[in-house]
Structure 1
Amino acid sequence: MLKHALTIAALLICGAAVAGQPRVIDVTLTPTGSTWRAEVTVAHADTGWDHYADGWDIRLPDNTVLGHRVLHHPHVTEQPFTRSLSGITLPDDATTVLVRAHDSVHGWGPDFVVTLP
């Protein structure tokens, strides 16, 4: 019985590891008047409601969050996928922003660095 339980636990752990961390693979920032619109492309091997990319944020190097986009459902058959967020205010002296994706199992993925013009 214990061997059976350990096998099931190992399979569950391996299943969670298959999807890995979410990765931002592209970012487009477009000025819209006094604010900016971000289009962010995320890659993640969503497996369903138990493990999926559930959001992303855009922030300054000092970790000040400028915007956060919640992803309300898995994108199992749509990979990679792009979602946008409008109304982002960038400080006039900003030269770089960081964008990272979040998933429901591993948390935050690595930063994608965007150098501003």
Structure 2
Amino acid sequence: MKAIWWLLLALPPLQAGEADVVAVQTGREAAGSYRFDVTLRHTDEGWDHYADAWEILSPDGDLLAKRVLYHPHVDEQPFTRSLSGVKIPAGLREVRVRAHDSRHGYGGKEVLVPLNR
């Protein structure tokens, strides 16, 4: 019985953990704003536990933009969603992108994104 218990401890968790940002692509738009295409990975379990947003933050932690995700993506992992018209203050050379899930909040993998100015 002890061998089985130790084996279970060594296995990765089978339930969803925190939402991770796995890729970010940016593009400059005509008006000087940016478009962000953000790919997330999270083992969505349904309406009670799913990746429900991602945010773009300045290096100092100021919120620049937020993309709300209105439904779970149980059978679509990883998945990419976009946000256009993001205004980036002059002088910023990079931003941080993080994901949020409905149970754990923040805490998964974040990505530091250099900006082409």
Name the TM-score class by shorter chain. 0.7 to 0.9
Q: Indicate whether 1:89 and 2:87 are aligned.
A: yes
Out of 1, 21, 29, the residue aligned to residue 18 of structure 2 is: 21
In 2: Cα distance, 1:116 partner to 1:86 partner? 15
- Structure 1 unaligned segments of length 5 or more: list them: 1-15
Q: Indicate whether 1:35 and 2:38 are aligned.
A: no
Deviation sequence 1:43-94 (CA, Å, 0-9, x none):
0000101100000000101111111000000000000000000110112211
Superposition pairs of residues 102-113 of structure 1, within 5 angstroms: 102-108=100-106, 109-113=108-112
In 1: Cα distance, 2:40 partner to 2:15 partner? 16
In 2: Cα distance, 1:32 partner to 1:63 partner? 24
Instruction: Specify the code of the residue in structure 2 equivalent to 1:72.
Output: Y
Q: Structure 1 length normalisation: TM-score?
A: 0.82
In 2: Cα distance, 1:112 partner to 1:17 partner? 25
Q: Structure 2 length normalisation: TM-score?
A: 0.82
What percent of counterpart residues are identical? 50
SS in 2 for 1:49: coil
Count the aligned residue pairs: 102
Q: Contact 2:16–2:45 (CA<8 Å) still a contact in 1?
A: yes
Which residue in the other structure is 2:65 paired with?
A: 67
Which residue in the other structure is 1:57 paired with?
A: 55
In 2: Cα distance, 1:66 partner to 1:85 partner? 12
Kindly report the root-mean-square deviation, in angstroms, between the aligned alpha carbons of the 2 structures. Answer: 1.4
- Structure 2 unaligned segments of length 5 or more: list them: 1-12
The change in CA–CA distance for 1:62 and 1:17 in structure 2 (over 3 A counts) is farther
